[in-house]
């Protein structure tokens, strides 16, 4: 199996690249946001639990999130590997993901981070906001705050995976094909 954590700030192109990479390498793309929405919409036990925290304005505990991911991973036991998108976000979550994969005799092979300058991110998100209708992409103040929070919350994860020799930063500026090529060079070395 090849197990990747795809990382990058909002607007870096993670969703676009995950779609391309999952096809190219026949990996299962697990977006934490999608998993949450699916469980809440289908009123699963985990979804109802998560919704109860969200409705109170609280963060969903790591245990609930990990259990949702575990269920998603177990749906795909014969997968060639996974692309984790939006998870982990904390060291505790990174440890939990490591434990989940270890229980399957697997591990995270790499954190691949799309690196993009802040001003380009702001431009991309505001552009996306005009076409997507997403309110969180339409307000420059909100966009800049999201980028700032990303760096504050995730800088420690870069160090976490660097210490394990598993962090790979990739230039996230250029055409979709150019960025895919850069990511592929990293992934091809892991396979």
Query: At 62, is the pLDDT very low, low, confident or very high (cuts 50, 70, 90)?
Result: confident
Q: How many residues does the chain have?
A: 191
Q: Which residues are annotated as a binding site?
A: 11-16, 32, 37, 58-60, 86-89, 93, 128, 134, 146, 174
Share of the chain above pLDDT 70, in %: 100
pTM above 0.95, yes or no: no
* Both tokens assigned to 28: 């299962």
Q: Of 22, 72, 124, 146, which is the active-site residue?
A: 146
pLDDT at 59 over 80: no
Whether residue 146 lies in the annotated active site: yes
CATH number of 2-116+167-180: 3.40.50.300
Average pLDDT over residues 56-65: 85
**Res. 2: pLDDT tops 80:** yes
- What's the pLDDT score for residue 89? 85
Q: Tell me whether residue 189 is one of the annotated catalytic residues.
A: no
Quick check: is 70 catalytic? no
Query: pLDDT digits over 8-48, tens only?
Result: 998 999 989 999 999 999 999 999 888 988 999 999 999 99
**Range 93-115 average pLDDT:** 94
More confident residue, 37 or 97: 97
Output the average pLDDT for the chain: 92
Active site annotation includes 77: no
How would you class 152 by CB atoms within 10 Å of its CB: exposed for 0-12, middle for 13-18, buried for 19 or more?
exposed
**89 in catalytic set:** yes
Annotated catalytic residue, options 22, 89, 124, 182: 89
Give the pLDDT band (50/70/90) at residue 124: very high
Selected catalytic residue, list 24, 41, 80, 134: 134
The residue among 134 and 2 whose pLDDT is bigger is 2
Catalytic residue among 14, 22, 72, 182: 14
Known binding-site residues for AMP equal 32, 37, 58-60, 86-89, 93, 134, 146
Known binding positions for ATP:
11-16, 128, 174
Report the candidate in 27, 2, 1 with the shortest Cα–Cα distance to residue 111: 2
Query: For the segment 157-168, what is each residue's pLDDT rounded down to a tens digit?
Result: 999 999 999 999
pLDDT score of 150 more than 90: no
At residue 154, the pLDDT reads: 81
């Amino acid at each position: 199996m090849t197990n990747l954590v795809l990382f990058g700030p909002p607007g870096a192109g993670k969703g676009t690249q995950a779609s391309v990479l999952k096809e190219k390498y026949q990996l299962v793309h697990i977006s934490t946001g999608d998993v949450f929405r699916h469980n809440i919409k289908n009123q699963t036990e985990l979804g109802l639990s998560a919704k109860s925290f969200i409705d109170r304005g609280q963060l969903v505990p790591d245990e609930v999130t990990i259990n949702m991911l575990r269920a998603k991973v177990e749906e795909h036991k014969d997968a060639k590997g996974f692309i984790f998108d939006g998870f982990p976000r904390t060291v505790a979550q990174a440890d939990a993901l490591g434990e989940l994969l270890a229980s399957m005799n697997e591990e995270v092979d790499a954190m691949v981070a799309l690196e993009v300058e802040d001003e380009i991110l702001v431009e991309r998100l505001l552009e996306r906001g005009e076409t997507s209708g997403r309110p969180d992409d339409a307000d420059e103040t909100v966009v800049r705050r999201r980028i700032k929070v990303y760096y504050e919350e995730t800088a420690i994860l870069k160090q976490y995976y660097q210490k394990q020799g598993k962090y790979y930063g990739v230039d996230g500026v250029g055409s979709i094909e150019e960025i895919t090529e850069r990511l592929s060079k990293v992934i091809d070395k892991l396979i």
